[in-house]
């Protein structure tokens, strides 16, 4: 290998990073799960006169459910469901579920671990209420990681932030895109 060849390869390698030197901007106009949705939003973007792209993504989403342990005391469990559903301090709709001759209470899904922990502690506190029949209700948090697939509908690319902001304003003027936002790639 000659020095000239090595030099040319080095320059070519450095030039390959030039695309990353200037950021490109996109407007995420929508996120879809079905092809009909994708087609509709792509058509809207085309009508506005912007280039568009479709980006397929996969994300993990944490799910936190607050459940009671199984109990054979249906009366106590139903009384608890009635009590927590009537309580104005918390906005949950408790549901009673039966498995064979036992039941458990589902307090629903929470967005994060802190909310789930708060709800579990509140549920434990409420289970000690004197108006309830003597019972042994215990609550646990079930954590589940769910894979979410989405199709992002993007307008762009735009080479500078000003052009992207102008496009964002125009796109957001369409009611269907009121939640659109700018993203950098």
- Whether residue 102 is predicted with pLDDT greater than 80 in this model: the reply is yes
Is residue 92 domain-shared with residue 37, that is, in the same domain?
A: no
How many helices (H) does the chain have, and how many strands (E)? 6, 6
182: β partners: 27
Tell me what the mean pLDDT of segment 146-170 comes to: 93
Other C-beta atoms lying within 10 Å of the C-beta of residue 151: 17
C-alpha separations of 129 from 34, 71, 126, 137, 175 in Å = 47, 17, 5, 11, 49
Provide the pLDDT for residue 129.
77
Is residue 129 domain-shared with residue 88, that is, in the same domain?
A: yes
State which residues form the domain around 178. Answer: 20-59+147-184
- Whether residue 145 is predicted with pLDDT greater than 80 in this model: the reply is yes
145: β partners: 62
Provide the pLDDT for residue 7.
52
Is residue 40 domain-shared with residue 82, that is, in the same domain?
A: no
Which residue is associated with the tokens 């407007």? 27
26: β partners: 183
Total domain count, the chain: 2
């Amino acid at each position: 290998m000659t020095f000239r060849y090595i030099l040319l390869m080095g320059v070519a390698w450095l030039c390959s990073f030039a695309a990353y030197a200037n950021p490109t901007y996109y407007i995420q106009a929508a996120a879809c799960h079905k092809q009909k949705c994708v087609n509709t939003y792509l058509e809207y973007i085309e009508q506005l006169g912007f280039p568009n792209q479709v980006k397929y993504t996969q994300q993990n989403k944490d799910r936190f459910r607050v459940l009671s342990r199984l109990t054979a005391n249906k009366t106590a469990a139903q009384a608890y469901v009635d009590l927590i559903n009537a309580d104005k301090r918390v906005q949950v709709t408790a549901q009673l579920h039966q498995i064979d001759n036992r039941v458990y209470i589902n307090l629903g899904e929470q967005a994060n671990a802190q909310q789930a922990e708060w709800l579990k502690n509140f549920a434990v506190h409420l289970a000690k209420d004197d108006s309830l029949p003597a019972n042994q209700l215990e609550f646990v948090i079930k954590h589940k990681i769910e894979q979410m697939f989405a199709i992002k509908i993007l307008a762009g690319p735009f080479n500078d932030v000003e052009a992207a902001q102008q496009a964002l304003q125009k796109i957001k003027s369409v009611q269907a895109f009121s939640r659109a936002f700018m993203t950098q790639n």
